[in-house]
Amino acid sequence: MVRSRDGAFCLMAYTPSMSLTGTGQQFASGWGRRAHFPATWVIVGGVAAGMSAAARLRRRDESAHIIVLEQGPYVSYANCGLPYYVSGEIVDSDALMVATPQSLAASLDLDIRVHQRV
């Protein structure tokens, strides 16, 4: 498990029957064959670091199942614009939204779950 500076956690979840060898995920069956099963990643925290981790995981493994859990309703917004919103220079908070959970799920093939407290 890895924790970033903004509090996002990234961990790999797998069943006890899977054997992780090297950099690939392999399941050793009783018949002596090895079959490839995609990894399942669970990322807790879906704003800056969480979405960066999810995008990097997707680039590294196109077959991985990536689940992003976010406590709030937003997964990607412009943090640098918050002072302008607080000062009133930006009046509509929707102007700070970079992407929606649906657009990120479609573009990166992610399983994004908002309003999930872990």
Which of 21, 47, 25 lies closest to 35 in space, CA to CA?
25
Structure pTM?
A: 0.65
Instruction: Tell me what pLDDT residue 99 has.
Output: 87
**Over the stretch 61-82, which tens digit does the pLDDT of each residue have?**
999 999 999 999 988 888 888 8
How far apart are alpha carbons 1 and 18 in whole angstroms? 18
Please say whether the beta carbons of 47 and 77 come within 8 A: yes
- Judged against a pLDDT cut of 50, whether residue 16 lies above it is answered with no
CA dihedral in degrees (91, 98, 74, 66; nearest 10)?
180
pLDDT digits (tens, 9 = 90+) for 17-33: 344 444 444 433 444 44
Scan for tokens 């899977």, then name that residue: 18
Q: Which one is catalytic: 15, 17, 62, 80?
A: 80
pLDDT at 34 over 60: no
Does the annotation mark 80 as catalytic?
yes
